[in-house]
Amino acid sequence: MKAIEKFAMIEGQLEQTVSALEGISQEEFDWKPVQHEKVRSIGDLLRHIVSAEDTFINRFVMGKDVQPRTPQSHPTADGLIAEFQNLRTQTLTLMRQWEENDLTKSYAGFRGMQLTLDKILQILIGHEIGHRSQLLLVRRLKNPNR
């Protein structure tokens, strides 16, 4: 069994996240419900989702250097969505190659914590779903009649 077969639900996740951002304006992308350092804008949430996938797949699993997504490096929704689409295409390509025994391989994550590929993929899927709900909530707060 390939990883993509075990985690088939990932194939529709990107479309759902992009759909949650449909028609977003730059003002809405940058808006925060309250001005506080721990409150994220929609843009911040999306940058976090994309950075997390890049970190988990490219840094932890593939051993590549990754760069953070910041408001300065990724200021617009369109550019960030395009990058996310490319990144997800890469992730799906890898998942079509990974066999069941690859899922048991262990990789060093944050602070050296060992994670199996299986766990990494579980985290990625749940992470995107959780933050997508936050994206939708923040959009609703900004535009209650949306």
- Whether the Cβ atoms of residue 52 and residue 35 lie closer than 8 Å to each other: no
Find the mean pLDDT for residues 127-145: 95
- Mean pLDDT check: name the lowest of 37-41, 44-48, 92-96: 37-41
Structural domains in the chain? 3-142 (1.20.120.450)
For residue 37, name the pLDDT band (cuts at 50, 70, 90). confident
Among 51, 63, 52, 50, residue whose Cα is nearest residue 107: 63
* Ordered DSSP codes for 36-86: -TTPPPHHHHHHHHHHHHIIIIIIIIT--------TTTS-SHHHHHHHHHH
On the question of pLDDT at 56 being above 80, the answer is yes
Its pTM stands at: 0.94
Size (the chain), residues: 146
Residue in the block written with tokens 């997390």: 52
Q: What is the per-residue pLDDT for 145?
A: 85
Find the mean pLDDT for residues 12-18: 97
What does the alpha-carbon distance between residue 92 and residue 97 come to, in Å, rounded to a whole number?
9
Give tens-digit pLDDT for 67-125: 999 999 999 999 999 999 999 999 999 999 999 999 999 999 999 999 999 999 999 99
- Chain-centroid distance of CA 125 in Å reads 8
